[in-house]
Amino acid sequence: MKILVLNSGSSSLKYQLFEMPNEQALCTGLVDRIGLEHSSITHKTFFKGKESKHQVELAIPDHEGALLRVTELLKDPKVGVLKDNTEIEAIGHRVVHGGEQFAATTLITEEVKAKIKGLFALAPLHNPPNYLGITVAERVFPQAKQVAVFDTAFHQSMPALAYRYALPKSMYTDLGIRAYGFHGTSHQYVSKKASEYLNNSKAKIITIHLGNGCSMTAVDSGKSVDTSMGLGPMGGLVMGTRAGDIDPSIIFHLINERGFSAQEVNDILNKKSGLLGLSGLSDMRDVKNAITEGSPDAKLAYELYAYRIQKYIGAFAAVLKGLDAIVFTAGVGENDADMREAVCKNMDFFGIMLDTKLNRAGNKNIREVNKSSSAVKILVIPTNEELEIGQQTFELIRK
């Protein structure tokens, strides 16, 4: 069975085609800068262990045009992997926010689409392009079953103690104000891989997803019991351009005492804070280069980023009432050995003891980077959100 996975952003479209149930990736790609004059497509195919890469620049006006171009590439005699559109039996869509309505992967109907649309206010930057991707795929692949996989679904197992805020009850019951959490597909995938590696289905695990957006999740016996992001994806850890946790009184001080508008404050917290706000640089690689050049601001940004992760490890270890493993994943988590070292520094009292040599050994597979004497396993696990979406889509439609 061939399953296409789509991740629609505001100006991009990521895709991956899997042969299920053997989980073989046939191709993967990215359509970038949709709606701009110089759009681009990067298309990779995999055959007998060899990767072939095809890139092209052209004007792509909208998401429908992007998906049509992807379809052409999938069937292209030279770089394609399909003979016909009808070979695709299902399409798994990443949808960022499912609210309380969706706690599991769901077959898309008109009613489901209406509910996704009704959640636009909770994820204004993400749900609209996700929804658009669904409507376009329905037109381009009318024979395929359309399936929604929600970033928030994995966190629906959190207890009220974790997801409720200490606000008037009506704000929850009437307005849906609560913690939903994000990056759920990534946290679910790597925590599942960690449990398999540990051969312990009841493992207590902290997953640490570090990319441009960052979040952590406490996982007990395969279920999310707490997570660092809340109503939206701004809270918790320091991120590339997002502030993470702040004192809410800062917002009102800026608006009431300093004359900022609510929109200006939102832009500051979302787009001008985090690593960028502290150092002037949003990419961790650039921050590290600035440190080597002697920038005190970059050094503070790097250390504050690690410090916040350490705080959440302490908090989530208390929530879990024990700890079997911590897992680093995503761009920074998988590739930045210095950051893993900074996070694990002086954590011996927690049973977290990093092996510096193992930590610096390059490897794309799941690996331990802890000392043999460490009570807590320190794992690096490459995330694969597209594969998780493909797996969940396959499990749903084969029933």
Q: Is 333 annotated as a binding residue?
A: yes
Write out the catalytic residue numbers: 151
The CA-atom distances, in angstroms, between 114 and each of 90, 134, 146, 174, 362 are 20, 12, 14, 19, 46
Angle (nearest 5°) at CA 293 between 288 and 294: 95
Are 133 and 63 within 8 A, CB to CB? yes
Q: Is 178 annotated as a binding residue?
A: no
Q: Is 14 annotated as a binding residue?
A: yes
Q: Is the peptide bond before 21 cis (omega within 30 degrees of 0)?
A: yes
Q: Is 283 annotated as a binding residue?
A: yes
Q: Is 5 annotated as a binding residue?
A: no
CA dist 205 and 207 (Å) reads 6
Q: Is 83 annotated as a binding residue?
A: no
**Taking Cα atoms as reference points, which of 283, 327, 335, 334 lies closest to residue 305?**
283
Q: Is 334 annotated as a binding residue?
A: yes
CA dist 172 and 316 (Å) reads 24
Q: Is 211 annotated as a binding residue?
A: yes
Express the helix, strand and coil content of the chain in percent, nearest 5 each.
40, 20, 35
Residues 192-211 as b or e (16 or more Cβ within 10 Å = b): bbbbebeeeeebbbbbbbbb
Q: Is 210 annotated as a binding residue?
A: yes
Residue 58, strand partner residues: 39
281 φ, ψ (degrees, to nearest 5): -135, 135
Q: Is 299 annotated as a binding residue?
A: no
Q: Is 365 annotated as a binding residue?
A: no
Q: Is 335 annotated as a binding residue?
A: yes
Q: Which residue has the tokens 């850890």?
A: 237
How many other CB atoms sit within 10 Å of the CB of residue 344? Answer: 27
CA dist 40 and 60 (Å) reads 8
> For the chain, how far is it from start to end, CA to CA, in angstroms?
14
Q: Is 164 annotated as a binding residue?
A: no
Q: Is 118 annotated as a binding residue?
A: no
What residues form the annotated binding site for substrate? 94
Q: Which positions make up the binding site for Mg(2+)?
A: 7, 385
Task: List binding-site positions.
Answer: 7, 14, 94, 209-213, 283-285, 331-335, 385
| Annotated binding-site residue numbers for ATP | 14, 209-213, 283-285, 331-335
